Amino acid sequence: MKKQEVRAIIEKVGIVPVIRASSAEEARFAADCVCKGGVPIVEITMTVPEALDVIRELVKTMPDVLVGAGTVLSEEALRKCAAAGAQFLVTPGFNAPTVAAARELDLLIMVGALTPSEIMAASASGADFVKVFPCGSMGGPKYIQALRGPFPQIPLVPTGDVTLETAADYIRAGAAALGVGGEMIAKDALKARDGDALSKLAALFVDLVRDARKTSAKL
């Protein structure tokens, strides 16, 4: 899939589920539940045991799901993720060689940043999206709204403390998409293998993003 297509899917769906799990089996289970809930995107973090194998398997068995790699900390890690079939990469912070490698491979990369200076550096390096992390610690939706003033052209993806209560506010504040972790991939439900609960959480986020976008379009 070409980078432009990957970007279009992320922008359309507006949600990037961040899957952190204690085992490869848990990660696969979470990915399946999220998809059933209406989110055809998953980010498998490199903190998941056997993460590369999980990515490789999901790419093969879930062709209709966009599979990405998260918590990519170096160029070496990025190349391993790309070799496993990851269709997009996500970093927690800005690392120029890692961004350069993604551009070389023509892979979409979402680069972590927090301050205005970091956001400018990430964007200038060629980041396709800027992941504002940890956004909740900086004021949440109000911080995204403030950043949209000087950076209207940079697609911002708030991550960290994105909840059912704040999701719509983030979208109305101008977020291009949302990075959602534990609020969607709930630890208790995951541990209990409560697939219905996880799928329902994913569906709730889908509804919130859709409705918030409709509201924003009318303003």
What are the structure tokens assigned to 58, written together?
């999901």
| Secondary structure string (H, E, C) spanning 4-70 | HHHHHHHHHHCEEEEECCCCHHHHHHHHHHHHHCCCCEEEEECCCCCHHHHHHHHHHHCCCCEEEEE
3-state percent breakdown (helix, strand, coil) of the chain, nearest 5 = 50, 15, 35
What are the structure tokens assigned to 107, written together?
């892979």
Point out the catalytic residue in the list 26, 43, 57, 183. Answer: 43
Point out the catalytic residue in the list 26, 57, 131, 183. Answer: 131
Q: Is 193 helix (H, G, I), strand (E, B) or coil?
A: coil
Active site residue 131: yes
Distance of CA 218 to the CA centre of its chain: 26
Cβ atoms of 100 and 123 within 8 Å: the answer is no
Active site residue 43: yes
Q: Is 181 helix (H, G, I), strand (E, B) or coil?
A: coil
- Residues serving a catalytic function are 43, 131
